[in-house]
């Protein structure tokens, strides 16, 4: 193919480690979590794995997971400098 097209392929971190943009960090309470997986579905950065591990290298700390969690199992804590 000779045409140059602007296509972005799925991959990790096209914008670098966006975890550095974070002001608040999501912390999951495993006791409260019922593994429903809504946090993973809602995460706009696909930073939550199938096993519901949060990849802090890429999590921007938007807090959508905490907002959506029906069990209130995710808290947003201020990043320490």
Q: List contacts with other proteins (CB under 8 A).
A: 5-6, 15-16, 18, 20-23, 60-61, 81
- Least separation in angstroms between residue 9's CB and other proteins is 14
- Least distance between other proteins and beta carbon 21 (Å): 3
Distance CA 62, CA 17 (A): 15
Pick the closer one to other proteins by CB: 1 or 50. 1
CB-based contacts of 68: which residues, under 8 Å, 6+ apart? 38, 39, 42
Name the minimum Å distance from CB 6 to other proteins: 3
What CA–CA distance (Å, rounded) separates 42 from 45?
Answer: 9
């Amino acid at each position: 193919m000779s045409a140059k097209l602007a296509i972005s392929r799925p991959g990790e971190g096209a914008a670098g480690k966006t975890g550095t943009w974070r002001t608040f960090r999501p912390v999951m309470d495993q006791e409260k979590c019922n593994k429903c997986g809504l946090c993973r579905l809602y995460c706009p950065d696909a930073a939550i794995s199938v096993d519901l591990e949060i990849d802090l290298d890429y999590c921007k700390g938007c807090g959508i997971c905490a907002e959506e969690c029906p069990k209130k199992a995710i808290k947003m804590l201020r990043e320490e400098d």
